[in-house]
A and B are shown apart, each in its own frame.
Chain A
Amino acid sequence: MAAAETFYDVIRRQGITRRSFTKFCSLTAASLGLGAGGPAAIAHALETKPRLPVIWMHGLECTCCSESFIRSAHPLAKDVILSMISLDYDDTIMAAAGHQADAILTETREKHAGNYVLAVEGNPPLNEDGMYCIDGGRPFVEKLREMAAGAKFVVAWGSCASWGCVQAAKPNPTHAVPIDKVILDKPIIKIPGCPPIAEVMTGVLSYILTFDQLPELDRQGRPKMFYSQRIHDKCYRRPHFDAGQFVESWDDEGARKGYCLYKMGCKGPTTYNACSTVRWNNGVSFPIQSGHGCIGCSENAFWDQGPFYDRLTNIPYFPVEANADVVGGTAAAIVAGAVAIHAGVTAIRSTIKSGEKTEA
């Protein structure tokens, strides 16, 4: 495999036409929000830059990120990106297996040291020295550290790699941790979601591969271009929210009319993701459009911010499952009761006292 091979060479070798290639460039530029010169810049980069190998590893996870990825709405994006990356390593979808597959890891690490992208789906569990996730006879965490050491960029796919997701939900028996707890010295980009939206995944990967740098990240390490606004900010049911028109139960008139799902526990107001703009499955729909609230799948520890179906969620760190109104309301009632009793005692005592005084 010649190191000097460009993306364009690879793409053409896969039988993709020049015409499709330019279309892909325009499409990607548009989805990344690049300006008028965007398509040309992408085309130029892909034609001249040597291909950046991508290694895709799987830790504790459910493979929903891969499932989402291979369903990238635009067939062009899918073909192009897949042809770019399947050349290297992805144990779930590549042809090689066993020692052959492991050999690719070693080869990439040696041949492209410091010059490949490590994409991680899932996360490493740390308990029992990482024994809860064995990959090729070794704890996944060891393999992860090894491959990260030579990587140029690390991509954290999905909520597992980014935040921990379900396996890290309380009480987290395997001590699963997001990858940035293990990989400390590499630039990491987080693409949270359970799974992330396919177009977001391919868009980010295209950006990294073409420009050889990470896109601008926010405070939590997510690409600003896709995670700058909450579902609620762009939700098409938002006018019903502002009006005060809510679904109150799953089969009511409001549900049929498509009112806001806030009272049904929609987490749109606290969730940063592109669902309400990019949508899912070729832009067909997204959960809210299908009548179900957002569960906040791209947010940190969303499993511990339940219930999914109540607006007021349980207080974290509180031993009993109860929301702020239950705990606060009870506490306020107790204090009010104590105040009433105190007032009563005060009144009785002063009556007795004034009685004593008149008697004396």
Chain B
Amino acid sequence: MTAAAGTKDEAEPIIRFRSVDKHFGPLHVLKGVDLDVRAGAVVVVCGPSGSGKSTLLRCINGLERAQSGTITVMGRTLDDRVLRSADFRAEIGLVFQRFSLYPHMTVLRNLTFAPRKVRGETRAQAEGRARELLERVGLADKIGAYPGELSGGQQQRAAIVRALLMNPRIMLFDEPTSALDPEMIREVLDVMRDLARSGMTMIVVTHEMGFAREVADLVVFMDQGEIVETAPAASFFSHPATERARKFLDKVLHH
């Protein structure tokens, strides 16, 4: 991973934004955003609420469509045709703050549903892989439970496993621990940390600065629809380049 960070111009980035603009009606939410993410990188996106972090993330897999600029993901420039492709979407995993799991399906069915429908896996195949991964995140005994019967932390871990079962090349996280009680945050971050070590490309919107410092290759700081600062995690935390980032860090680190 550190090797990859050194070989900057070796390969085309797996995610590339070029002057991307996004409006919601009169609201200008992304203002000429440029971004490059190499395969295998872990990028933490932070910034004040309403700064456009979620929108940025959702543009990557086409949940939001930009009005101008180009977004290239895994070598394909996003347009209607690309986004119609189930395989393209399935290669980008997504975990929300909450309501990720389907409440009317058991954990096992939540996990095997899309692999069977989209990838055409047999039931035995899908369930075998699901059991294996659930075991690894310590949820083997919850396999037949409904999401409503799990704690928030267990739900988020199951949601991560569900995304991983599609064999994604990119994982997106939108504040995956923000709705959790403090004691559950750690169990989710542990799973994410392991995932980062395995070399997965990850874009994580989070306020967990400890996680960012430890795991992130790159920190992207956003404010009012702009990427104000992009820096390696170490330098972002030790000496942020902009006044706005300094103020933000002040607030989240010593609230």
- Do the two chains belong together in a single complex? no
Residues of chain A having any CB pair with chain B under 8 Å: none
